[in-house]
Amino acid sequence: MKYVFFGYVLLLLQSCNHSESYRFNIAEMDGISQASPVSVPLESLGSVDWATLGNMSLTYEGRKVPFQLDENGKSLWFLHTPQNTAEYKLEKADGDTADTTLIKVNKNNGNLQLSKGSNQLLSYRYGMTYPPEGVDSIFQKSGYIHPLLSPSGDTLSRIQPPDHYHHYGIWGPWTHTQIEGERVDFWNLVERQGTVLFKDFNDTFSGPVYGGFSAHQEHINLKAEEDNRIALNENLEVKVWDLGRPDRYMVDYTSQFNSPLENGILFEAYRYGGGLGMRFTERWHKDNCTVLTSEGNDRLSADGTNARWCMVTGESANGQGTNGVLFLSYPENKSHPEPMRIWPIDGNGGRGDMFFEFCPIRHEEWNIEPNKDYRLKYRMVVFEGKLTADEAESYWKSFAGMPKIVKE
């Protein structure tokens, strides 16, 4: 596991005699009212390097601000609150340290857990999960997120529900695909045509601003010969961001993939598959779960429509409040504003269980050329209580175009 360097002080680096200070502001953007991640390229700060950062702190109006160097060592990241109009200062530290809680990675028994302090936030399952006794072993799976937890600890995701044993928390296999003119379904495991499994980790990282991992996942064509089964190689990067408040945190979910097949693969247009899908907790149903999209659609009207963002809210486990997830689609994604699959309110025998997906191929097929990289980016804001439409729009705007640095 990599501990990414951050301010005040995780790695003990050599002392430095630099006396420079670097000052900058954040250019304010209309409609952004919520805190969001901001990065400063190190090259824009002249002589700042690893050694220099080891003896510097980032301050705003005299208060120290946690910061973190990215995995490539090229940018400094921190959380910016739009109401902060004063300048930031990166300068030699005074020797004091600030109380900082890490977003930490821990691997245990096939689970990679991301937590803030003692509070677990989500888990990525890299070990194999087997179906319940008496259920076909074809439903075994690795490479998915579960549980996703609310800030108060409620489990929001679900795996292996009896109505859909192939549902696994947060995941995104492609459904109707064509390889050399033959259909291969990676979603519906019961078809015995394809599956998506964890291969290995590219990286893991922890810090006071964010923590996460990059995992290599293989999309496997079970109908092919053993030496030609890999239809897609996917690098899934997940970052959990500390928003500096107890009732919300943020998750970036980025899938980059390519096909090693000689003629690539075709994703057929279909109502679900790919993108970002989530099966929600069994506690949520038609009577205690709501949907709101950026276009104003609700649980009754959202399915099949396109949106920049979609907010799913449901009753908390203790019945005393609500929590939920805001899903954001990046402007460069295929078919953005992105089509959605949202289960009908009378589904599951009338229970109206909740399933959501950003589905880029809902209305239009996507031809994946051989050995060409493709990317889909999503962000989730996991919240306790309520989140307003204006706040959702603010989160989307800062995701779509990160606030810019104005250097003094």
Q: Where are the domains of the chain?
A: 21-92, 103-400
CA–CA gap between residue 390 and residue 396 (Å, rounded): 10
Q: Are β-strands 119-125 and 111-116 bridged in parallel, bridged antiparallel, or unpaired?
A: antiparallel
Average pLDDT, the chain: 91
pLDDT value of residue 5: 42
Looking at residue 71, what is its pLDDT?
86
Q: Which residues of 295-313 are buried (b: 16+ CB within 10 A; e: fewer)?
A: eebebeebbebbbbbbbbb
Which portions of the chain are predicted below pLDDT 70? 1-20, 47-52, 84, 95-99, 407-408
According to the model, what pLDDT value does residue 405 have? 85
| pLDDT, position 374 | 98
Smallest CA-to-CA distance from 285 within 386, 342, 354 is with: 354
Task: Indicate the SS3 state at residue 393.
Answer: helix
Which residues are registered as beta bridge partners of 182? Answer: 179
The helix or strand, by DSSP H or E, that contains position 355, with its residue range, turns out to be: strand 355-358
CATH code: domain 103-400 is 2.70.98
Question: What integer pLDDT is reported at residue 15 of this predicted model?
Answer: 31
Q: What is the pLDDT of residue 273?
A: 96
Cβ-in-10-Å burial (0-12, 13-18, 19+) of 162 comes to: exposed
Q: Coil, strand or helix: which one is 227? A: helix
